[in-house]
């Protein structure tokens, strides 16, 4: 060998040491001291998980020990680590197969852990499906901070992004890949209670800060989920009791949540084009202190299929959701205490019940449902912009809700007893009947008394009547509902309702089902009803029918349109009630109109001019024949009913 060949061989050897190779082969190299970067052709196979690795100040023994899928030691004792590309790395670079057959949970968790260590802001999923088995759980179910038995744990800011042509599915299975619907782990309930409890583990668990370092300082300042499907493989069996049965595994499994934040602090959560379906507990669960999460932003997301709730942001975080859906579960949404929440073009569907609204509770003030606000700050608000609620047995709205909604086969109620101080709600409701029959489109329920104590409050704190609630309801029926003879029952109100409330109702309902408060209502909000123009001939099928009149007395206004009939052929001199039984604060509203129509020709009903200060007529009016009517409007200054119109063909 000539002397000239020796340098050439040295250069060739140096070049060979720096050639790209599979990740495992790079550890056999002996790169020169001035070679700071090595490239791989893939992690386990060429073209899958290719990456660049650098040797820098972060490359030390602890990093090597903690992240063997991303950090290696060369034959000449140098340490190299994966270098995120523009702050991004892929799970394939940690050895994930992405074929749906191999358990990728260890690789995915390793990729998350390394992203945290390397300061990467994005974790890419380059294939369309990854199998994620639940690891074994040894800690008790009630150990909220324990990480064992949780498929994926995130501790710092990170974006998880599906990068395949179609959205990436994370296929969550039970331990060893079996069906989580029929298989689960049994672990102790708590350190002091060895009772065996079901553990399925859910999907993604956020290990936020404890205690709170302050907004803007949280370790998970921002979590993003983009173009992902979290497939839980659990079914909605309709078993809503919890905890889940350890024998059958059925029920509301509080160990099984799609996205889980509890008793810790994180910043913002952003989800785009992401579905979470098939969990036995809450699909999305945010719980803890009022400010545990700063903000949740959802765009084109679907949370569905659970024995629990689809969406439970049970803290005072700001919510902005656009083009999202929540349903196929016990509660489509379980929510309290929002200072601000905005939903645009969202759908809630197929559940037993749900509630929205309430406003900030400033922590738990008396009870979670008791609304409070900072009088120096803008009022809390839940905005519903072009939203739909479908096939929900009971849909409840509470304080500070406004917007336009469409309901299908759904009963809407605003319940002052549940809300405890229902106020400042303004809703326009387009109600459609399709596959159900004989349900109420709307009810406004006041409180039963003015001295009902608020649970947990100091003595003398009582539930308050609904106030400043404005509702506009239009009834509709699909062609299918009409063909089947399905009809609405009308809207109604009960109990103490402040006179600042109003109900405007349109459309047709079943007979005797117009908006009403019963035969002798405690209160009456401002109620209007429109169903075309009424004359003596078109006297309106469905007017509220008052009890038969047996003699002279008083009529208690109970609806905007009422029919009356005489029990005998006598002439009855009638007056009108000046205030409901609850008193002037609970009705009647200034300008309230009522029309009283005589049902048949039996007897006569007479309003004698000057006979009572409760009403004023232009002259004595007699309803003699069938379909005679008289109309009054209420003058609140005088607390009397004043004649607006009269018709009789007598």
Average pLDDT over residues 103-116: 98
Q: Which two tokens stand for residue 591?
A: 């300008």
Could you tell me what percent of the chain has a pLDDT over 70?
93
Reported as half-sphere exposure (CB side, CA atoms, 13 A), residue 483 has a value of 5
Name the one residue in this structure whose structure tokens are 């990467």. 120
Inform me whether the pLDDT recorded for 9 exceeds 60: no
Q: What is the DSSP letter of 601?
A: S
Q: Using an 8 Å Cβ cutoff, are 256 and 283 in contact?
A: no
Inform me whether the pLDDT recorded for 584 exceeds 80: yes
Q: pLDDT per residue over 13-39, tens digit each?
A: 445 556 789 999 999 999 999 999 999
Q: Which two tokens stand for residue 220?
A: 């998970």
Q: pLDDT per residue over 87-106, tens digit each?
A: 999 999 999 999 999 999 99
CB burial of residue 286 (10 Å; 0-12, 13-18, 19+): buried
Average pLDDT over residues 248-269: 97
Q: Which two tokens stand for residue 23?
A: 């990740």
pTM: 0.93
Higher pLDDT, 607 or 369: 607
Q: pLDDT per residue over 419-433, tens digit each?
A: 888 999 999 999 999
Measured from the Cβ of residue 13, the count of other Cβ atoms closer than 10 Å reads: 11
Q: How far, in Å, are 529, 556, 582, 643 from residue 618 at the CA level?
A: 25, 21, 29, 7
Does 211 sit behind a cis peptide bond, omega within 30 degrees of 0 on the bond before it? yes
Reported residue count of the chain is 650
- Residue 74 neighbours by CB under 8 Å, 6+ apart: 26, 27, 28, 29, 30, 31, 80
Q: pLDDT per residue over 298-339, tens digit each?
A: 999 999 999 999 999 988 899 999 999 999 999 999 987 788
Q: Using an 8 Å Cβ cutoff, are 428 and 404 in contact?
A: yes
* pLDDT confidence band for 650 (50 / 70 / 90): confident
For 210-250, what is the HEC assignment?
CCCCCCCCCCCCEEEEECEEEECCCCCCCCCCCCCCCCCCC
Q: What is the pLDDT of residue 376?
A: 86
Q: Which two tokens stand for residue 270?
A: 């952003």
Q: Which two tokens stand for residue 225?
A: 């989920």
Q: How far, in Å, are 52, 53, 59 from residue 66 at the CA level?
A: 19, 16, 11
Inform me whether the pLDDT recorded for 458 exceeds 60: yes
Q: pLDDT per residue over 538-571, tens digit each?
A: 445 567 888 999 999 999 999 999 999 999 999 9
Inform me whether the pLDDT recorded for 200 exceeds 70: yes
Q: What is the mean pLDDT of the chain?
A: 92
Q: Using an 8 Å Cβ cutoff, are 361 and 402 in contact?
A: no
What distance in Å separates the CA atoms of residue 11 and residue 286, rounded to the nearest whole number? 59
Q: pLDDT per residue over 486-542, tens digit each?
A: 999 889 999 999 999 999 999 877 655 788 998 889 999 999 988 654 544 444 556
Name the one residue in this structure whose structure tokens are 């009638």. 574
Measured from the Cβ of residue 439, the count of other Cβ atoms closer than 10 Å reads: 15
548, 552, 479, 545: which is closest to 514 by C-alpha?
Answer: 545
What distance in Å separates the CA atoms of residue 216 and residue 484, rounded to the nearest whole number? 57
Could you tell me what percent of the chain has a pLDDT over 90?
83
Q: What is the pLDDT of residue 530?
A: 82
Q: Using an 8 Å Cβ cutoff, are 398 and 418 in contact?
A: yes
Measured from the Cβ of residue 435, the count of other Cβ atoms closer than 10 Å reads: 12
Reported as half-sphere exposure (CB side, CA atoms, 13 A), residue 604 has a value of 12
Q: pLDDT per residue over 343-376, tens digit each?
A: 999 999 999 999 998 776 555 566 666 777 778 8
Inform me whether the pLDDT recorded for 10 exceeds 50: no
The distance in angstroms from the start CA to the end CA of the chain is 134
Reported as half-sphere exposure (CB side, CA atoms, 13 A), residue 397 has a value of 30
Q: pLDDT per residue over 117-156, tens digit each?
A: 999 999 999 999 999 999 999 999 999 999 999 999 999 9
Average pLDDT over residues 422-448: 96
Name the one residue in this structure whose structure tokens are 């949280």. 218
């Amino acid at each position: 060998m000539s002397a000239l060949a020796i340098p050439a061989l040295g250069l060739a050897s140096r070049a060979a040491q720096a050639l790209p190779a599979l990740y495992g082969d790079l550890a056999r190299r002996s790169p020169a001291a001035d070679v700071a970067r090595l490239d791989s052709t893939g992690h386990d196979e060429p073209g899958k998980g290719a990456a660049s690795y650098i040797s820098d100040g972060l490359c030390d023994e602890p990093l090597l020990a903690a992240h063997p899928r991303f950090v290696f030691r060369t034959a000449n004792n140098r340490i190299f680590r994966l270098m995120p590309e523009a702050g991004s790395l892929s799970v394939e670079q940690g050895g994930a197969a992405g074929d749906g057959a191999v358990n990728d949970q260890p690789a995915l968790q390793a990729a998350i852990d390394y992203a945290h260590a390397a300061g990467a802001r994005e974790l890419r999923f380059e294939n369309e499906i990854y199998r994620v088995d639940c690891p074994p759980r040894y800690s008790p179910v009630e150990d909220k901070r324990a990480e064992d038995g949780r498929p994926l744990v995130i501790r710092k800011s990170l974006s998880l992004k599906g990068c395949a042509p179609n959205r990436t599915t994370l296929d969550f299975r039970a331990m060893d890949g079996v069906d989580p619907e029929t298989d689960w782990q049994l672990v102790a309930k708590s350190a002091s209670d060895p009772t065996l409890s079901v553990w399925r583990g859910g999907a993604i668990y956020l290990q936020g800060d404890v205690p709170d370092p302050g907004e803007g300082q949280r370790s998970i300042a921002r979590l993003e989920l983009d173009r992902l499907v979290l497939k839980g493989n659990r079914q909605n069996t309709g078993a809503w009791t919890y905890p889940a049965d350890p024998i059958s595994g059925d029920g509301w499994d509080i160990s099984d949540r799609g996205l889980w934040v509890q008793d810790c602090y994180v910043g913002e959560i952003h989800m785009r084009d992401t579905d979470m379906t098939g969990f036995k507990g809450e699909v999305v669960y945010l719980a803890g202190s009022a400010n545990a999460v700063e903000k949740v932003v959802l765009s084109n997301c679907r949370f569905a299929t659970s024995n629990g709730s689809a969406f439970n942001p049970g803290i005072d975080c700001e919510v902005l959701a656009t083009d999202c859906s929540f349903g196929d579960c016990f509660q489509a949404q379980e929510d309290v205490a929002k200072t601000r929440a905005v939903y645009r073009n969202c759908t809630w569907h197929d559940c037993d019940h749900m509630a929205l609204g309430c406003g900030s509770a400033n922590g738990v003030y008396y009870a979670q449902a008791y609304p409070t606000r900072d009088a120096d700050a803008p009022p809390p608000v839940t905005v519903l912009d072009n939203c739909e609620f479908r096939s929900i047995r009971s849909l409840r709205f509470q304080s500070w809700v406004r917007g336009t909604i469409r309901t299908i086969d759904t009963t809407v109620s605003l319940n002052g007893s549940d809300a405890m101080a229902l106020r400042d709600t303004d809703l326009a409701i387009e109600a459609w009947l399709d596959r159900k029959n004989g349900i109420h489109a709307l009810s406004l329920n006041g409180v039963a008394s003015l001295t009902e104590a608020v649970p947990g409050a100091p003595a003398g704190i009582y539930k308050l009547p609904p106030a400043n609630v404005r509702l506009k309801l239009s009834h509709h029926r699909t062609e299918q509902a009409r063909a089947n003879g399905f009809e609405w029952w009308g809207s109604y109100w009960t109990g103490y309702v402040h006179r600042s409330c109003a109900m405007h109702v349109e459309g047709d309902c079943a007979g005797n089902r117009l908006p009403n408060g019963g035969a002798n209502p405690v209160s009456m909000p401002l109620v209007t009803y429109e169903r075309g123009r009424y004359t003596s001939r078109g006297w309106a099928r469905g007017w509220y029918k008052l009890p038969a009149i047996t003699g002279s007395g008083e009529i208690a206004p109970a609806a905007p349109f009422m029919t009356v009939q005489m029990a005998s052929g006598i002439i009855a001199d009638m007056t009108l009630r000046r205030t409901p039984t609850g008193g002037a604060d609970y009705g009647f509203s200034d300008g309230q109109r009522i029309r009283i129509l005589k049902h048949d020709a039996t007897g006569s009903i007479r309003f004698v001019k000057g006979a009572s200060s409760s009403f004023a007529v232009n002259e004595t009016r007699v309803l003699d024949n069938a379909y005679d009517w008289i109309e009054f409007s209420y003058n609140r200054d005088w607390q009397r009913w004043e004649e607006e119109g009269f018709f009789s063909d007598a």
